[in-house]
């Protein structure tokens, strides 16, 4: 046990570059050359090359990829080694050779499902390690942004009884014999909480029974949602652009190494500073038409249209003023132009598309009940939500940000599944 505790992080060993050190970790690469065995050891902080004299360390021969090892030796500067430093091993303190590692990069190249099947092991790859560190920083930055901007963090239930985003994507759960659902969004609960705390946010999973597999849909995703009292659509959009630029800036500062390991070009991230472009739904339809997309006013702006639109802009854009029928019932209609709502999405550039959906909510109870009925829903299902409008109701607005989609863009991933440790979609619930 003592040797485990004496070990220093590999990044620290690289910094020291001289003297004696104990390191611990997992074998990332191994190659034998005449009388020496070179092992690249990996821990959570980095990689270092270990050099074994073959005649002294028979065990070096037995090490597999991902064998665990604790070794002591002398640090020596060596420009050809990764990180410029290697450890000349003098003592193997502990080793767990294990079985030959099953991950086969050729199989991975041939079959995109393969690495998902072995995700419990693939998490050890340097690529996943970099993604997970960026995710960590993204979540930290979202919390920091909201807390520093006067929002209270709150907790909301995952078992719910009424649809926020339409019945089609609800997951039904048997709750002691009663049907309940997994939440699609914490929005309604946040709307209740603003009357206590005025500015609130939550980061929690949301669930959607998305029947198709796309590059940006999961059935379980992480949702950062905020709600503010005394606020309108533009106030919420400003918070949206601020939180995104805050997160991106922190990742650029603290995760440059990981971004470079992933081969991510940073210019598009560096440009993501407020103000983002503001594009109305009407303008978007015009832009798309000019590009030859067949779209009429009132049509949905789906993934393909979003992609085409974002390629026209060099930073994120706030797309606002969607026609009533394209957005959920709770969005307030524009009093000056009732056919459109005070709703907005934030679209990420480079073809990534929607990352935030939000807007101003209906605060008048009569208007709300009318709209619920106009949407063919039953006001009884929304009894407590309507109740909120009966007592000191105020204009308010908020949004939901898909954290996995934000990480996808920041890391430059092709697929949302690539940035989630254990992704869930229509075909996958394990590992
Ligand atoms: O646009 P959506 O459906 O909005 C809401 O749920 C609002 N009730 C939020 C609010 O105002 N509090 O979802 C918000 C965001 C999307 O922009 C997207 O980034 C993400 O959540 N999202 C998904 N991410 C991954 N997989 C899915 N299936 C997603 N569905 C939505």
- CATH assignment of the domain containing 261: 3.30.930.10
- Whether residues 312 and 381 share a domain: the answer is yes
**CA-closest residue to ligand 1 atom 6:** 185
Atom of ligand 1 nearest to the CA of 219: 28
Measure the CA dihedral 138/241/206/343, to 10°: 180
CA of 344 to the centre of ligand 1 (A): 12
- Whether residues 255 and 379 share a domain: the answer is yes
Question: E-assigned strands of 281-321?
Answer: 317-320
- Whether residues 67 and 151 share a domain: the answer is no
Tokens read off for 94: 């502990």
Atom of ligand 1 nearest to the CA of 227: 12
Q: Among all chains, which residue has been given the structure tokens 């004299």?
A: 53
Measure the CA dihedral 53/55/58/61, to 10°: 60
114 is a domain residue: no
For the Cβ of 258 lying below 6 angstroms from any atom of ligand 1, the answer is no
For the Cβ of 402 lying below 6 angstroms from any atom of ligand 1, the answer is yes
pLDDT bucket at 110, cuts 50 / 70 / 90? confident
pLDDT exceeds 80 at position 108: no
Choosing from 164, 166, 167, 223 the residue with most ligand 1 atoms within 8 A of its CB, the one to mutate for a pocket test is 223
Q: Which candidate, 101, 18, 86, 96, places its Cα nearest to that of 47? A: 86
CA-angle at 323, arms to 322 and 328, nearest 5° = 80
- Whether residues 218 and 365 share a domain: the answer is yes
For the Cβ of 397 lying below 6 angstroms from any atom of ligand 1, the answer is no
Atom of ligand 1 nearest to the CA of 223: 21
The pairing of beta strand 68-77 with beta strand 85-96: antiparallel
- Whether residues 165 and 206 share a domain: the answer is yes
Domain extent, residue 28, equals: 2-96
3-state secondary structure of 241: helix
For the Cβ of 358 lying below 6 angstroms from any atom of ligand 1, the answer is yes
Atom of ligand 1 nearest to the CA of 345: 17
ipTM of the complex in this document: 0.99
**CA-closest residue to ligand 1 atom 18:** 402
Question: E-assigned strands of 97-198?
Answer: 152-153, 159-160, 172-175, 178-182
32 is a domain residue: yes
- Whether residues 31 and 151 share a domain: the answer is no
| Cβ atoms 237, 320 nearer than 8 A | yes
Tokens read off for 96: 């767990």
Output the CA–CA distances (angstroms, integers) from residue 89 to 107, 203, 229, in the order listed. Answer: 34, 45, 62
- The structure's pTM equals 0.96
Atom of ligand 1 nearest to the CA of 359: 11
pLDDT bucket at 166, cuts 50 / 70 / 90? confident
Atom of ligand 1 nearest to the CA of 346: 17
CA of 403 to the centre of ligand 1 (A): 9
- Whether residues 75 and 203 share a domain: the answer is no
Where among 64, 96, 128 does a domain terminate?
96
- Whether residues 258 and 294 share a domain: the answer is yes
286 is a domain residue: yes
Per-residue pLDDT reduced to its tens digit, 177-204: 999 999 999 999 999 999 999 999 999 9
111 is a domain residue: no
Per-residue pLDDT reduced to its tens digit, 27-73: 999 999 989 999 999 999 999 999 999 999 999 999 999 999 999 99
| Cβ atoms 48, 82 nearer than 8 A | yes
Per-residue pLDDT reduced to its tens digit, 143-158: 999 999 999 999 999 9
Per-residue pLDDT reduced to its tens digit, 203-236: 999 999 999 899 999 999 999 999 999 999 999 9
- Whether residues 68 and 127 share a domain: the answer is no
424 is a domain residue: no
**CA-closest residue to ligand 1 atom 30:** 217
- Whether residues 92 and 154 share a domain: the answer is no
The count of structural domains within the chain is 2
For the Cβ of 327 lying below 6 angstroms from any atom of ligand 1, the answer is no
Per-residue pLDDT reduced to its tens digit, 333-351: 999 999 999 999 999 999 9
For the Cβ of 398 lying below 6 angstroms from any atom of ligand 1, the answer is yes
CA of 106 to the centre of ligand 1 (A): 36
Mean predicted confidence (pLDDT) in 397-407: 98
For the Cβ of 220 lying below 6 angstroms from any atom of ligand 1, the answer is no
Query: Cα(345)–Cα(422) distance, rounded to whole angstroms?
Result: 27
405 is a domain residue: yes
- Whether residues 380 and 292 share a domain: the answer is yes
Where among 63, 96, 129 does a domain terminate?
96
173 is a domain residue: yes
Predicted confidence at residue 1, as pLDDT, reads: 66
CA of 359 to the centre of ligand 1 (A): 12
- Whether residues 129 and 57 share a domain: the answer is no
**CA-closest residue to ligand 1 atom 11:** 399
Residue 25 is part of a domain; what is its CATH number?
2.40.50.140
pLDDT exceeds 70 at position 90: yes
pLDDT bucket at 109, cuts 50 / 70 / 90? confident
Contacts by residues 28-35 (CB-CB < 8 Å, ≥ 24 positions apart): 28/65, 28/126, 29/65, 30/63, 30/65, 32/61
The pairing of beta strand 178-182 with beta strand 159-160: antiparallel
């Amino acid at each position: 046990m003592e040797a485990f505790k004496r070990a220093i992080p590999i990044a620290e060993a690289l910094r020291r570059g001289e003297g004696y050190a104990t390191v611990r970790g997992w074998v990332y690469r191994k190659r034998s050359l005449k009388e020496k065995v070179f092992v690249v050891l990996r821990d959570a902080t980095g990689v270092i090359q270990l050099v074994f004299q073959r005649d002294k360390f028979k065990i070096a021969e037995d090490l597999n990829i991902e064998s665990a090892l604790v070794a002591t030796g002398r640090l020596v500067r060596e420009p050809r080694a990764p990180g410029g430093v290697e450890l000349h091993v003098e003592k193997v303190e502990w080793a767990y050779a294990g079985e030959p590692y099953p991950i086969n990069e050729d199989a991975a190249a041939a079959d995109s499902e393969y690495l998902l099947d072995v995700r419990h092991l693939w998490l050890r790859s340097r690529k996943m390690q970099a993604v997970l560190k960026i995710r960590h920083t993204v979540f930290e930055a979202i919390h920091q942004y909201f807390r520093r901007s006067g929002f209270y963090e709150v907790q909301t239930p995952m078992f719910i009884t009424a649809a926020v985003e339409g019945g089609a994507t609800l997951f039904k759960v048997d709750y002691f014999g009663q049907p309940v659902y997994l939440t699609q969004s914490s929005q309604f609960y946040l709307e209740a909480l603003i009357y206590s705390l005025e500015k609130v946010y939550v980061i929690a999973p949301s669930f959607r029974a998305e029947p198709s597999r796309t590059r940006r849909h999961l059935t379980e995703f992480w949702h950062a949602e905020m709600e503010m009292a005394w606020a309108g659509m533009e106030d919420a959009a400003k918070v949206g652009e601020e939180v995104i630029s805050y997160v991106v800036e922190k990742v650029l500062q603290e995760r440059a190494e990981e971004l470079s390991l992933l081969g991510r070009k940073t210019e598009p991230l560096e440009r993501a500073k407020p103000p983002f472009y503001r594009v109305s739904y009407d303008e978007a339809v015009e832009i798309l038409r000019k590009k030859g997309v067949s779209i009429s006013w009132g049509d949905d702006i789906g993934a393909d249209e979003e992609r085409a639109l974002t390629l026209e802009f060099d930073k994120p854009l706030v797309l606002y003023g969607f026609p009533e029928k394209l957005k959920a019932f709770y969005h307030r209609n524009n009093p000056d132009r009732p056919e459109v709502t005070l709703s907005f999405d934030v679209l990420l550039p480079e073809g990534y598309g929607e990352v935030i959906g939000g807007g101003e909510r209906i605060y008048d109870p009569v208007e709300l009940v009318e709209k619920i009925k106009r949407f063919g829903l039953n006001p009884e299902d929304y009894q407590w939500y309507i109740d909120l409008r009966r007592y000191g109701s105020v204009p308010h607005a908020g949004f939901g940000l898909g954290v996995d989609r934000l990480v996808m863009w920041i890391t430059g991933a092709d697929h949302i599944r690539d940035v989630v440790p254990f992704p869930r979609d229509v075909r996958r619930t394990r590992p």
